[in-house]
Amino acid sequence: MMPLAKHIVDQTLATPHGEAAYKVVEQLTDAGHDTWWVGGCVRDMLLGIVPADIDIGTAALPEEIARVFPDAREVTAGLGSVLVHYRAVDIEVTTFREDDETSDGRHPESVVFGTREQDARRRDFTVNALYYNPINRELYDPFGGERDLQERLVRFIGDGAVRIKHDVLRMLRAVRLRAVLDGQYHPETYRALQELAHLLPSLSGTRQLEELEKMLAGPRPARALEDLWELRILHEMLPELAVCKGVPQPKDYHHEGDVWEHLLKCASAFASDDGPDIRLAALFHDCGKAQTFSQAERIRFDHHAEVSASLVSAALDRLRCPARRRDKIAWLIGHHMMMGAFTDMPETRKGHWYYHPWFPELLRLFQLDIAGTDPPVYDLYDEIVRDYHAFLDSHPRPEKALLSGADVMEILGIRPGEEVGRVLQQLHGEQVERRITTKKEARSFVERMKEEGR
């Protein structure tokens, strides 16, 4: 058995979050309510990790929590979760509840409050049905989660098919958990995931996107993506990506393998400070190669960037991605093949691009594209970076731009593109010459450009 190491508990309690979570349990327990640390934080401690967040489960009803903590506020009305503020730390406290067996997996909002034992039975995986009492240091593990964690095993509680049908999101959570743990699936869990992949479209696009972004931000995004393909979940969720497996690439430039292998290598190169937009752009940037494959003197993918941009727009619409983010990601993908043009571009044209608010992310996408290639050759990337910084050094922006690219697009009613960079460059010149010094003057300048059709 894997002990809950005393030094990890002590280190956790020494953090502001741990101290606050201890005090919340203490006060609710003193008020007569069965209260425990729950789920991922307990899992982390069993793995020897000091948890970043601590969730609390309690038998206390929301109104009873509020009597102990008068400043507590509901997270979502009627679902039994409240935020308790203790010494500048917010702790989420949720009343124990049992499954609503009438849920169809798309509307699991009905809540029936219950006991700790009922709360454990409603949880998805054994390694998440873990409860720890920081006062008496007791571990409650009704389904062998500690044993499964020792094997890094992802296993549904009870019948996997029933668990999935009750909430389809659990399929994506299983894949993400396996990647987080660098683990493996219990055979029955694996079969349930594979056999019920066809249910994925019943899950809202919003929830699909949220879980996909968590996978891409996790420690092993390529592992999660490969699992999605193998389990055929990706075929239901993102067919634009699923078809990339088996699409060959020119052998002279891509020793890594087919388009899918290239995308996986790009995902493996994500850095901790890469935002969700750049991660999605890197994931989809070559999805159009499946449609544009041709063979002449070598394998070619003519116009694949534009096709990929169109495909990602449709995919992100299905996932209910906000239009502003969708357009930005499509813009990055649509322009990722133009990087070679910068070396011979006139200075006046470079400003359209180098001043563009999304250019740094376009540059990062180019870097990830190279990182996903074997062998990775960064000569052109390094040349563009040098030129970019040299240009900004000789054509400095004002210390603070009065308008953003988003402001320009809103005023002119235009979509992302070269025009945004051109307007920002002209506005920059006016600011440098001190002819424009306020945001109001900047807006008037851009509005005049619209009236004059410039």
pLDDT score at 454: 54
- The CA distance from 381 to 378, in Å, is 5
Query: Which residue has tokens 């702790």?
Result: 91
Look up residue 14 and give its two tokens: 């020494």
- Residue 158 · residue 143 · CB < 8 Å: no
Residues in Cβ contact with 61 at an 8 Å cutoff, skipping those fewer than 6 apart: 80, 95, 113
Q: If one looks up domain 152-237 in CATH, what number appears?
A: 1.10.110.30
Q: For residue 150, give the nearest of 10, 43, 223 by alpha carbon.
A: 43
pLDDT score at 106: 47
Look up residue 123 and give its two tokens: 């949880």
Strand ranges for 366-421 from DSSP E: none
Look up residue 38 and give its two tokens: 């729950």
- Residue 277 · residue 332 · CB < 8 Å: yes
pLDDT per residue as tens, the chain (454 positions): 455 889 999 999 999 999 999 999 999 999 999 999 999 999 999 999 999 999 999 999 999 999 999 988 888 767 889 999 988 899 999 999 987 555 554 444 567 899 999 999 999 999 999 999 999 999 999 999 999 999 999 999 999 999 999 999 999 999 999 999 999 999 999 999 999 999 999 999 999 999 999 999 999 999 999 999 999 999 999 999 999 999 999 888 788 889 999 999 999 999 999 999 999 999 999 999 999 999 988 888 899 999 999 999 999 999 999 999 999 999 999 999 999 898 888 887 787 788 888 999 999 999 999 999 999 999 999 999 999 999 988 887 666 778 888 888 888 888 887 788 888 878 877 876 678 889 898 899 888 887 776 5
- The CA distance from 196 to 105, in Å, is 13
Hey, do 6-150 and 152-237 end up sharing a CATH topology, with the first three levels equal? no
pLDDT score at 398: 61
pLDDT score at 385: 95
Domain boundaries, the chain: 6-150, 152-237, 247-452
Domain 6-150, CATH among 3.20.20.80, 3.40.1350.10, 3.30.460.10, 2.30.140.10:
3.30.460.10
Q: For residue 76, give the nearest of 108, 51, 105, 37 by alpha carbon.
A: 108
Indicate the helix (H) or strand (E) that contains 300: strand 299-300
Look up residue 373 and give its two tokens: 């290639």
